[in-house]
Structure 1
């Protein structure tokens, strides 16, 4: 995760220099003047809990993943020392530049495309072509439109799947959205997998047919097309998380409910979890908000359930993120118990760990909390594969795992579709 556009260039340059440097000369030694002083590194931090992980975020460092009580953290040298002063043990694994250089390898891909070896992933144009192909092959049950424009003017496509797709029927609706965070490309593949499964499988799969006949399914494969495109713009991964608005806004900290309330997002424009200057200041989040609001028909929200896909750590998360209390204002015991019951049932099918969102660390301004507080949508975040990689490479699993790791969530998706009608 890169703290600003300036640092993105610095790290990318350092990564390239690491490939060109003579043996025995480090990227830090070859980096541009001043780069080493704020160079970021990846650390392993054992014996953490929700409270300590929240403290890690509040220094400006970032928890990349959690496995058991061990967190993988990205931090500057100064942030690392600040955390050590708080009594945490940080074991350095690698610098960010070295991690990206190792994952990218020496060969670049084509401009605006994935690195060599990861051709199975869909870039923005390929994603749209895939959606167009689905509509062409299944015009009776699939229709493509746009929820709005990104900061750089790209359409944010949405696919609707339903038996009578051109009609707005009185059926429970379910939303699957992916790629709020730019570098989490596996999530786009997850949404495309759902789209293919519920169209190609319609004639012969009774579970798919029942869902398409009795639900309206909405799929948004990339909420953050600018950031996703920027992450692979050079033909190598950049480690980019945010959108491309100024220094970037973390879209999943820009939602309006409890925005900026509780130390669960940063007000520093250079921070990875920068919440933006105001709630819904990012055009991508405001577009998705407007789409969800538009599904209020006759005074009732038609979207009953949602999965917001992220990577990584293999988790099933439910609201709230802004508080560690399971029962609080806006969440009754019965409501919490339903979230927990369904979350555990889904996790039982894919092997993920189920927990309240704040058990990972406190966040505010995220989509789950807003959807539930505003519309009572049964909303979950799935943190996908891998469970733990030890660093940035967890955001970039090889393309040959896509089929396995997307199909891994089929039964969980079916459970949520069922629960939407409850």
Structure 2
């Protein structure tokens, strides 16, 4: 029997779609040299997983080009989220009752609010920020006195920072429901809720999860709304700030600010794509720099894997080292949340990969709950172990103290108290330790030969006394780029139990008297400058400090139509890599403020015009004048535009389906081992984008629609794919575009 197949292309805009969604590539390459993987490949793209010499990874357009510049020829793969289609969606909260559906975004919001409404004494809902596209980042706190800050350990579960890894999303919602609904009948749950503060964030990247719209998770993707991998965007203990070269994303900043406002002692973030527990460090291999608590991290990860394996069919949660790996031993990553929480917040975080299928069929979600329920609960119960207590001064007031293990701690592995109540927890492998307690302005205290038993809690309340020496602290506030003094800056410093405030003089100088020795925090604010925070160690040998501020800049200008030279209204002007944007008014005028001194890229987009990216250095003295040229979008609504050629049969206009309008192009019919193509050559006047929508209905993995620019493959799609819009960058000059179905 002869099998005839078709595909369709619709040109919503052929050149420059200002609102086009950025491409996300999924591919594999081969690399046998682990050192190259850990130093070059991991910095170029977002590695998904490594299997032997094969690396599976994601990339946006810039990352994809960076990888090719290293000499690799990536093999494009079908995005994993396209492999499964039977994902049911709940359109009401009631439909989530069996936990075998995914919630729409609206249902997710309603569920989170309903948890708080139904259990006001146990559950508090917080919105900790908004995403690039304006969706909410929700966290619930579950505790017996939920509105109080009690002296109890704070635990944090979060999921789906990769938006297409959705198994944990639903499991977190179900865990919230389980803890709340079983509090009155299950003594185990009651003990946890009574003794801990449990925080749960079901979805850390809803823009990625609902990339196809608030009503579906079928077209979810890994990256956020700015095409950035959030799990490569956190400050890194090895690389430092902005390890991926991107500005901190709204989702990243929200998590950083929330972590700074809490005192989390243990946490885990849920992922998919493989099945294992991954523990710190991601930034180093074990041989290169093992965490001080490497053995303890292995123990808790091993327990999670063991419980998951015991509750599941053979083969589940057995990847890498039978379900457990140190992050860098698998592959090195910079900017992970796990390392950020562990290093910068003295927390203990691991990464839990709980399903090979990233975005599985909704009917399978109850199975994953069964596999992971005991493991998730037991993981929280590690808070019943270790050295715990409260650190106070002689007046019984809680202290912000540091707890250090002699000849053990390194790389910020020490723990700190919750400054509100002075409570702490130091989970550690069984052994005998010398433990030192210290706080700014107080004498330290060391307790020797502290014996830690496996699975047991050891209570150690500590009182620190003896005010340490105090000193005068002086310094100068200057502009980071000009070195000129900043006058009238507000300078606050914080030390234990003390806060000091003053204002810088005309020469930028300030002076504080009688500041207790130790680490103090400087907080500096000044008009027309960004706020800054510094930490300094105050002692008898301290020199005057120099605190630098970054000035705020503005840029303004006008945008014109190149012919005729008339103002353009409604042009979107965006600072590349940020959410800072505006639109031009009726005079073509725009103004952007809150910009940092230095190089900045501005993108100018308007439907029907070629986009422009303008690179400038701030401060920029003169108004910026930008000219946009009208684009000539191709459409199939009336005719097949001039210039299109066909091979392997003629493609035809078809009105049975379209992405926008009435008509699309339908490929010529083909059978086995045949190929048909449509081609167009254009002269592009400036750097721009090509954008089109496609629909494919073919035999999955065998028949493909491929898109080429000048003979170089840019995209490949197969299977049942509904109308999807894509865009690719195009440089100025003559280019040949080809759509091939084979």
TM-score past 0.5 threshold:
yes
Q: Secondary structure at the match of 2:140?
A: strand
Q: How far apart are 1:211 and its partner, in Å?
A: 0.6
Aligned with 2:130 (options 149, 169, 173): 149
Q: Secondary structure at the match of 2:353?
A: strand
Q: Kindly indicate whether the alpha-carbon contact (under 8 Å) linking 1:120 and 1:400 is maintained by their aligned counterparts in 2.
A: yes
1:216 aligns with: 197
Q: Secondary structure at the match of 2:138?
A: strand
1:389 aligns with: none
Q: How far apart are 1:259 and its partner, in Å?
A: 7.1
1:361-376 paired onto structure 2 within 5 Å: 361-376=331-346
Q: Does 1:96 align with 2:78?
A: yes
Q: Does 1:177 align with 2:158?
A: yes
Q: Structure 1, residues 162-192: CA drift from partner, whole Å, max 9, x if none?
A: 0111111110110001121111222211211
Larger helix share, 1 or 2: 1
Q: Kindly indicate whether the alpha-carbon contact (under 8 Å) linking 1:321 and 1:361 is maintained by their aligned counterparts in 2.
A: yes
1:137 aligns with: 118
1:420 aligns with: 383
1:292 aligns with: 259
In structure 2, do the counterparts of structure 1 residues 101 and 361 end up closer, same or farther at CA, with 3 Å as the change threshold? closer
2:354 aligns with: 384
1:410 aligns with: 373
Q: How far apart are 1:326 and its partner, in Å?
A: 5.5
Q: Structure 1, residues 223-246: CA drift from partner, whole Å, max 9, x if none?
A: 12222222445857335212113x
1:8-407 paired onto structure 2 within 5 Å: 23-24=4-5, 42-43=27-28, 51=35, 53-54=37-38, 57-58=41-42, 60=44, 63-66=47-50, 71-73=55-57, 95-96=77-78, 103-104=84-85, 120-232=101-213, 235=216, 237-245=218-226, 248-258=227-237, 260=239, 266-267=244-245, 276-277=246-247, 281-295=248-262, 302-325=263-286, 328=289, 331-332=291-292, 335-351=293-309, 352=317, 353-386=323-356, 394-407=357-370
Q: Kindly indicate whether the alpha-carbon contact (under 8 Å) linking 2:42 and 2:333 is maintained by their aligned counterparts in 1.
A: no
Q: Kindly indicate whether the alpha-carbon contact (under 8 Å) linking 1:189 and 1:402 is maintained by their aligned counterparts in 2.
A: yes
User: Which consecutive unaligned segments of at least 5 residues does structure 1 have?
Assistant: 1-21, 112-117, 268-275, 296-301, 387-393
Q: Secondary structure at the match of 1:151?
A: coil
Q: How far apart are 1:420 and its partner, in Å?
A: 2.4
In structure 2, do the counterparts of structure 1 residues 304 and 101 end up closer, same or farther at CA, with 3 Å as the change threshold? closer
Q: Kindly indicate whether the alpha-carbon contact (under 8 Å) linking 2:237 and 2:343 is maintained by their aligned counterparts in 1.
A: no
Q: Structure 1, residues 119-158: CA drift from partner, whole Å, max 9, x if none?
A: 7012322112112222222222111121122223332111
Give the length in aligned residue pairs.
Answer: 353
Q: Structure 1, residues 284-317: CA drift from partner, whole Å, max 9, x if none?
A: 111111111111xxxxxx3110011111201101
User: Which consecutive unaligned segments of at least 5 residues does structure 2 have?
Assistant: 16-22, 92-98, 310-316, 318-322, 387-742
RMSD: 3.9
**Structure with the greater relative contact order (CA < 8 A, sep ≥ 6): 1 or 2?**
1
- Under a length normalisation based on structure 2, what TM-score does the superposition of the two structures give? 0.42
In structure 2, do the counterparts of structure 1 residues 251 and 236 end up closer, same or farther at CA, with 3 Å as the change threshold? closer
Q: How far apart are 1:63 and its partner, in Å?
A: 4.0
In structure 2, do the counterparts of structure 1 residues 377 and 101 end up closer, same or farther at CA, with 3 Å as the change threshold? closer
Q: Kindly indicate whether the alpha-carbon contact (under 8 Å) linking 1:56 and 1:63 is maintained by their aligned counterparts in 2.
A: no
2:468 aligns with: none
- Find the aligned partners of 1:309 and 1:161 in 2 and give their Cα distance: 19
- Find the aligned partners of 2:236 and 2:129 in 1 and give their Cα distance: 21
In structure 2, do the counterparts of structure 1 residues 328 and 61 end up closer, same or farther at CA, with 3 Å as the change threshold? closer
Q: Kindly indicate whether the alpha-carbon contact (under 8 Å) linking 1:305 and 1:377 is maintained by their aligned counterparts in 2.
A: yes
In structure 2, do the counterparts of structure 1 residues 108 and 410 end up closer, same or farther at CA, with 3 Å as the change threshold? closer
In structure 2, do the counterparts of structure 1 residues 41 and 309 end up closer, same or farther at CA, with 3 Å as the change threshold? closer
Q: Kindly indicate whether the alpha-carbon contact (under 8 Å) linking 2:282 and 2:336 is maintained by their aligned counterparts in 1.
A: yes
Q: Secondary structure at the match of 1:96?
A: coil
Q: How far apart are 1:54 and its partner, in Å?
A: 3.7
- Find the aligned partners of 1:120 and 1:182 in 2 and give their Cα distance: 17
- Find the aligned partners of 2:178 and 2:351 in 1 and give their Cα distance: 20
Q: How far apart are 1:206 and its partner, in Å?
A: 2.2
- Under a length normalisation based on structure 1, what TM-score does the superposition of the two structures give? 0.71
- Find the aligned partners of 1:119 and 1:409 in 2 and give their Cα distance: 15
Q: Secondary structure at the match of 2:199?
A: strand
